[in-house]
Amino acid sequence: MKLIGIPSSPYVRKVRITLREKKIDYTFIQEDLRSPDSTIGTFNPLGKVPCLVMEDGKSLYDSSVIAEYLDTVTPVGKLLPQSGRSRAEVKCWEALADGVSDAAVLIYLEETRRPPQQRSQEWIQHQKGKVLSGLAAMSKKLGSGQFCFGNTYSIADIAVGCTLGWLAFRFESMDWQDQHTNLARLYDRLSERPSFKETTPQSEPPHPASPAPSMTPPPRQTSSR
């Protein structure tokens, strides 16, 4: 089993942590999505990571799909309730966390991948509003709980931990820890787990210099999920 991804992606990290918690052996293949030599399109027509390539050569993509599949591979460390309302609520937690990551990634790409004169502050503020409202919703849902759902560690905790970890990695000035102390406590506890320690986000090497950007800005979209 091979996982194609980039070490800084919160979505790739979610899958790596799931693999570690489930004790599933795999090979991690780092991919430069901006390189003309990238082969990600061979495995995922959307050109996004993470992408899980299985022993028979077939692939799965979208971190939520991959994590849900991995939970069925072995009964070790079950991360999703079997069915019903409980499963839906855990998946909703995951969707909320991924939505915050989506908006935060879009802010990061806008601020780092586009020339200053082409950046839209209106777009950035719109996405920031999603981040802030998503964090507030997560904090309210968590309350005084030790875990996101019930008394059991689940994919909800993994997704939330990866989102908070990415915010801490890319937006050090964002004071979500002071505003949502219960999320900060949850993040600190999760960060002590070996699966989180082993997948701490890392920056990719600088991309080789490229020609000057055209007058048409690149589309505003995320390259991973």
Residue 37 within a domain: no
154 in any annotated domain: yes
* Ranges of H-type helices in the chain: 10-21, 40-43, 63-73, 84-113, 121-142, 155-170, 176-179, 181-191, 194-197
Work out the burial of residue 135: count CB atoms within 10 Å of its CB; fewer than 13 is exposed, 13-18 middle, 19 or more buried.
buried
For residue 110, the domain's CATH number is: 1.20.1050.10
Yes or no: say if 158 and 11 are a contact pair by the CB < 8 Å rule: no
Roughly how many angstroms between the first and final C-alpha of the chain, as a whole number? 19
Instruction: For the chain, 225 residues long, give each residue's pLDDT as a single digit of tens.
Output: 999 999 999 999 999 999 999 999 999 999 998 898 899 999 999 999 999 999 999 999 999 999 999 999 999 999 999 989 999 999 999 999 999 999 999 999 999 999 999 999 999 999 999 999 999 999 999 999 999 999 999 999 999 999 999 999 999 999 999 999 999 999 999 999 999 999 999 876 655 543 333 334 445 554 467
pLDDT digits (tens, 9 = 90+) for 120-161: 999 999 999 999 999 999 999 999 999 999 999 999 999 999
Q: What is the CA radius of gyration of the chain?
A: 18
| Domain interval for residue 152 | 84-193
- Is residue 77 situated within a structural domain? no
Report yes or no on 39 lying in a domain.
no
Q: Confirm whether 204 is domain-assigned.
A: no
Task: Please state the pTM of the whole predicted model.
Answer: 0.91
How many structural domains are present in the chain? 1
76 located within any domain: no
Examine residue 225 and state whether it is found in any structural domain, yes or no: no
User: What angle in degrees, to the nearest 10, is found between the helix axes of 155-170 and 181-191?
Assistant: 100
13 contacts 165 by C-beta, under 8 angstroms = yes
Distance CA 12, CA 166 (A): 11
**Domain annotation covers residue 134:** yes
Q: Above pLDDT 90, what percent of the chain?
A: 86
Tell me the pairing of strands 27-30 and 2-5. parallel
Looking at residue 205, its pLDDT comes to: 60
